[in-house]
Amino acid sequence: MIQGVNKLMQPTALDGVKALQAPDVKSVGGPSFSEVLSQAIESVNNQQNHADVLTEALASGQAPDLHTVMIAAEKASISFQLMVQIRNKAMEAYQEVMRMQV
Please check whether residue 54 is in contact with residue 63, taking contact to mean a CB–CB distance below 8 angstroms.
yes
Instruction: Note the pLDDT of residue 12.
Output: 56
pLDDT tens sequence for the chain (102 residues): 556 655 555 555 555 555 556 566 566 688 898 899 999 999 999 999 999 999 999 999 997 799 999 999 999 999 999 999 999 999 999 999 999 988
Q: Which of 27, 72, 29, 34 is nearest to 52 (CA)?
A: 72
Alpha carbons 13 and 6: distance in angstroms, whole number: 10
Please check whether residue 94 is in contact with residue 62, taking contact to mean a CB–CB distance below 8 angstroms.
no
